[in-house]
Amino acid sequence: MLPLFVVSFRSIAHSKRFSSSLLRLVEDWAMGAECCTISDRIDPLPGEAKKVLQSLASNWDDVNDANDLQVVRLKGAMTNEVYQIKWPTKSGKLSRKVLVRIYGEGVDIFFDRENEIQTFEFLSKQGRGPRLLGRFSNGRVEEFIRARTLSAADLRDPDISALIAAKLKEFHDLDMPGPKNTVLWSRVQIWLNAAIRLSSDDDCEEFRLGKLKEEIIQLEKHLSKDHQIIRFCHNDLQYGNIMMDEETRSITLIDYEYTSYNPIAYDIANHFCEMAADYHTDTPHILDYSKYPGLEERQRFLAVYLSHSGHKPSDLEMEELTQDIEKYTLASHLLWGLWGIISDHVNDIDFDYKEYARQRFQEYWSRKPELLGSIEA
């Protein structure tokens, strides 16, 4: 087993939602990955990271020189800087590879990095994700998974969607150590307070932020039902956080920044909402809600999800979960709309966060009357 190297334990910077969400781990560095060697004039890696990498490689008998590493920046990550690190091997065939993730800064409002690391380590020990190979003060080194990240189109493929449904059920059945309370509603309130604090008066008025506190209270009251199931949820199951081994067709869920206990209906609703997104276009912030899955597609997903553990769902179970999921899309729109507003103030990545937020809120207000009837905030 490879050793875990820890260079520093001082406060770790926090990142945001798209940490490595758009990685496509392919041999030819598709999607415009940039390649450089460690001796290039502009060295992208901090010294601490290089120490971890060199210590790691020195334990591999098939690596000629631990210092002879190649750095490939993987484009598409919306917050973290993510690099593929390669070492030539003595055989000259397959190279040794790991991933280095350098955390984004200034967004500790979104999640607790130490909690994410604990989740990462737990899932790693369970054999459900990449191994944590090392840490440094503002990032970490991960096992390189020889699989591909899914595309937006993959989510609509019935066969792949069924694999995702089964894997999500396994994820929800994990007994994660720690508190098992729903996090959704406290998180959205915290993000609302941050959005109001950061926004101008004009933005507060445009996005109706002053109205959202009561809106959230009413939404929680309406959605918190006795029959709902609370499980350990991914909370950010967009296509870039799902990897598939092309040979075995096995699915791996990655990026655990937002994991917590929540209603399973919310987690599935959030996954369905992500089908409107394609982050690999010239306008990655634009959402197309005509791509939101229809009733037949949603029920096909749920049938696989509910039956994966050997339980045949009743018609009532299917109907209740289908309805709950639709209502929880409203919570997804509110949460990620607020995320967009906050991100617009703390992130300088070339992504139109404000327009993204605008679309999420527009979808919330347009769908609310249909889904919640006459409820008023």
Give 301-319 as a 3 state SS string: HHHHHHHCCCCCCCHHHHH
**Quick check: is 206 in a domain?**
yes
**pLDDT band, very low/low/confident/very high, at 106 (cuts 50, 70, 90):** low
Q: Is the pLDDT of residue 77 over 70?
A: no
Q: Are residues 100 and 238 in the same domain?
A: no
- 3-state helix, strand, coil split of the chain in percent (to 5) is 45, 15, 40
**Quick check: is 1 in a domain?**
no
Structural domain that includes position 84: 7-146
Q: Are residues 315 and 356 in the same domain?
A: yes
Q: Are residues 87 and 196 in the same domain?
A: no
Which of the listed residues 97, 116, 146 is the one where a domain comes to its end? 146
* Residue 113: both structure tokens together: 């990095």
**Quick check: is 181 in a domain?**
yes
| pLDDT 10s digits, 261-306 | 999 999 999 999 999 999 989 999 999 999 999 999 999 999 999 9
Number of domains in the chain: 2
Contact 224, 251 (CB under 8 A): no
pLDDT of residue 25: 37
* Cα–Cα dist 285/354, whole Å: 9
Q: Are residues 201 and 226 in the same domain?
A: yes
Q: Are residues 179 and 90 in the same domain?
A: no
DSSP state of 289: G
260-263 and 5-6 strand pairing: unpaired
**Quick check: is 14 in a domain?**
yes
Which of the listed residues 122, 146, 170 is the one where a domain comes to its end? 146
**Quick check: is 164 in a domain?**
yes
Q: Are residues 187 and 290 in the same domain?
A: yes
Query: What is the amino acid identity at position 197?
Result: R
- Residue in 204, 306, 296, 308 with CA at minimum distance from that of residue 265: 306
* Cα–Cα dist 219/328, whole Å: 9
| pLDDT 10s digits, 11-48 | 222 333 443 333 333 333 333 344 444 444 356 898 99
Q: Are residues 101 and 173 in the same domain?
A: no
Q: Are residues 200 and 314 in the same domain?
A: yes
For residue 325, what is the domain's CATH number?
3.90.1200.10
Which of the listed residues 146, 178, 202 is the one where a domain comes to its end? 146
Q: Are residues 166 and 292 in the same domain?
A: yes
**Quick check: is 377 in a domain?**
no
Q: How far is CA 355 from CA 18, 335, 377, in A?
A: 16, 15, 24
Q: Are residues 170 and 142 in the same domain?
A: no
Q: Are residues 57 and 157 in the same domain?
A: no
**Quick check: is 138 in a domain?**
yes
Q: Are residues 183 and 234 in the same domain?
A: yes
Could you tell me the pTM of the whole model? 0.84
Query: What is the amino acid identity at position 318?
Result: M
Q: To the nearest whole percent, how much of the chain has pLDDT over 90?
A: 63
